[in-house]
Structure 1
Amino acid sequence: MTSLPDHYETVRERDDYEPIEGAVGPVPAAERRRFVAVDDEGVLTRTDERSTLVATGVGMTGPPHLGTVGQFLTAVALQEAGLDVQFVIADLEPYHSGASLDRVRALAERYRAFALDLGFDPERGRLRTQREATDVMRTAQLLAPYYDPEAWTPADGSGERPPTDWERAVREAYEAADGERGPATAAVERSGPTSDAADIHSAVLHGVDFLHPLYAGDYERLVLQFGVDERHLARMARRFRDAAPVEGGVAGLYTRMLPGFDGTPKMAKSIPGSGVSLAMAPAEIRERIAGDPGGDPATSPVFQAMCLASRYDAERLERLERACETGGEEWARARDEYAEFVVGLAERWRATAD
């Protein structure tokens, strides 16, 4: 089977992660459907003992998709729960890979405006690009001697374990796409220079984006919040921390993934037809969302998107889950309402270009 629930269960058992029940501290029940695992049970219930920062962010390979929206809204929900949140817009990564600096700057500013529009409060956290954070760049230079490329390889040998059925299906979907690029990636087309040095700079900076608040002494604990498919980032941060003169705890809090449309295992820009980009026309967004017939909520791309990329409360999501299972008119109405919400998001994204 390639279902995400099976994948989550395998990952939790294999990596000794915990389900989120009781693990996300002050985060209200209304927001807990976003999360599927934590690698340090109760980490956010200990905020009175040590100052804690939740760190997250997004890469920029084009306009946001529903998974990106989910990352923004999760950051907002964590802020509203009273947590300090750092949100990094990773603009230097595409530049290091050959994207035009001017295009990267323009897209990064649109991402910043969109995050603010969705409710991120810069007075209660830090919303930044990589390019503007010169203090983090300085730390990256100071910690570079401690960087080991092997930090990206799990020290516990989990990278050598066979992939789950879902991971295998994702890999096959990427291979079938054969590197296709659609309009969603055209905004940061890679046509400029790059080098091995740029790759190393990018990797060091990626790690220091996480570790700088600990190195600077601003916080004593870091909680990395990403989709569960990026759980390797927490391992990398711990290994980099252990090698460098950095003290403090590092934990991982992981959100659900979004299954793709038309039977694809994952919503991804490089898997054609799998997702919803905010660059799509309203009619195309409505058509794609209307194509979800309901059934098993765990494999429904629309219901899973409702859990991650919406502000529905817990009671509403319970009703939507039942509607998805039943299908029929109630699910069609719920699906149409969500489509209008996403169309509205797309309009808000387009407004950032003005």
Structure 2
Amino acid sequence: MTRLPDHYELVRERNDYEAVTGAVGPIPTAQRRRFVAVDGTDVLDAAADRPTLVSTGVGMTGPPHLGTVGQVLTAVELQQAGLGVQFVIADLEPYHGGTPLERVQALAERYRGFIRGLGFDPDRGRLRTQSEARDVMHTAQLLAPYYDPDSWDDGPDHPPTAWERAVSDAYEAADGEWTVEHSGPTSEAARTHSAVLHGVDFLHPLYAGEYEQLVLSFGIDEHHLTRMARRYRDAAPVEGRVAGIYTRMLPGFDGAPKMAKSIPGSGISLDMAPETIRERIGRDEGGDPEGSPVFQAMCLASRYDAERLDEFEAACERGGAEWERAREEYADFVVDLAERWRATGR
């Protein structure tokens, strides 16, 4: 089966992660729908007594999509829970890959304005690009001798889950239909610099002695980043505990296993026209909340709490007029997000 709940269960089982069924440390029960797994509950439980930073961020291959929105709103909710949050706008990653610097910097500033507009407070954390954080770049130079490319390996050699196979097949079928334009220079050295900096984006707060604990917050498809950070920490002169808390993935429209820019028609991007957004959300007739792209997006890329989502889950399962009203309400929310994104470019 390619259902995401089966994927979550298998990933938790293989990695000894815990499911999220209630509060996790300072993160309240009201946010339980947002997360599907925790790696290191004891770290979050100790967050009130030990300086703890949550680190998250976004890559930039174009305008935000609903998964991106979900990561931003997750960071906002974690701030509301009283946690210090670092949000990294990964601008050097596309630059190292060949995207011209001016284009990357312009997009990064749009992202910064959008993230702040959704409620992220830089005074209660840190909202930054990679290129402006000279202190992190300095640490990256000092920790580069300890970098091991094999630290990115995704742990034991497990066969892919059914959902992972479905995603791989969807990417293969879409090959050539969606590409990122790269017109700038790149090199193997640039890619290595990017990988080192990616790891040090996480480790710098521990290396600098600002925090004793680090919690990485990403979609569960990126849970390997926590393992990478631990391996890098163990190899380098860095101390501190590292944990991970992982959000749900979003199934795609029209049967796609995942909302992804590289799977045409599978998702919603904030550069879409309002009528396109409403039409796509309106396709979801309900019946299966676990497979519903709209209900799953409501769980991640919204401000609904768990109690309201329980109501929407029941409406989705029943379908009909009640689910239609819920879809229309969510479509209004997403159209407003798209307008907010467009406003950053004016």
Q: TM-score, normalised by structure 2?
A: 0.98
Matched, 1:178 2:170: no
Instruction: State the SS of the aligned residue for 1:54.
Output: strand
Note closer, same or farther for the CA distance 1:23–1:341 as it changes in structure 2 (3 Å cut).
Answer: closer
1:24–1:43 Cα contact (<8 Å) kept: no
Counterpart amino acid of 2:173?
A
What is the alpha-carbon distance in structure 2 between the residues aligned to residue 319 and residue 132 of structure 1?
Answer: 44
1:292–1:300 Cα contact (<8 Å) kept: yes
Matched, 1:314 2:306: yes
Q: Which runs of 5+ in 2 are unaligned?
A: none
Matched, 1:167 2:164: yes
Note closer, same or farther for the CA distance 1:179–1:23 as it changes in structure 2 (3 Å cut).
Answer: farther
What is the alpha-carbon distance in structure 2 between the residues aligned to residue 236 and residue 42 of structure 1?
Answer: 19
* Deviations, residues 70-123 of structure 1 (Å, cap 9, x unaligned): 000000000000000000000000000000100000000000000000000001
What's 1:147 paired with?
A: 147
**Displacement after TM superposition at 1:135 (Å):** 0.2
**Displacement after TM superposition at 1:22 (Å):** 4.9
Counterpart amino acid of 1:163?
P
Q: Write out aligned runs for 1:270-285 (5 A).
A: 270-285=262-277
Instruction: State the SS of the aligned residue for 1:262.
Output: helix
Counterpart amino acid of 2:199?
G
1:97–1:199 Cα contact (<8 Å) kept: yes
Counterpart amino acid of 1:258?
L
Q: 1:332 aligns with which of 308, 312, 324?
A: 324
Counterpart amino acid of 1:309?
A
* Deviations, residues 245-300 of structure 1 (Å, cap 9, x unaligned): 00001111000000000000000000000000001001100000000110111110
2:17–2:37 Cα contact (<8 Å) kept: yes
* Deviations, residues 197-241 of structure 1 (Å, cap 9, x unaligned): 000000000000000000000000000000000011101101110
Question: How large is the RMSD of aligned CA atoms in angstroms?
Answer: 1.0
Instruction: State the SS of the aligned residue for 2:338.
Output: helix
What is the alpha-carbon distance in structure 2 between the residues aligned to residue 2 and residue 340 of structure 1?
Answer: 30
1:179–1:270 Cα contact (<8 Å) kept: no
Q: 2:279 aligns with which of 261, 281, 287?
A: 287
Q: Percent identity?
A: 75
Q: Write out aligned runs for 1:204-215 (5 A).
A: 204-215=196-207
What's 2:335 paired with?
A: 343
**Displacement after TM superposition at 1:59 (Å):** 0.3
> Size of the alignment, in residue pairs?
346
Counterpart amino acid of 1:25?
G
1:65–1:275 Cα contact (<8 Å) kept: yes
**Displacement after TM superposition at 1:314 (Å):** 2.0
* Deviations, residues 127-155 of structure 1 (Å, cap 9, x unaligned): 0000000000000000000001011013x
Q: Write out aligned runs for 1:228-267 (5 A).
A: 228-267=220-259
Counterpart amino acid of 1:193?
P
Matched, 1:269 2:261: yes
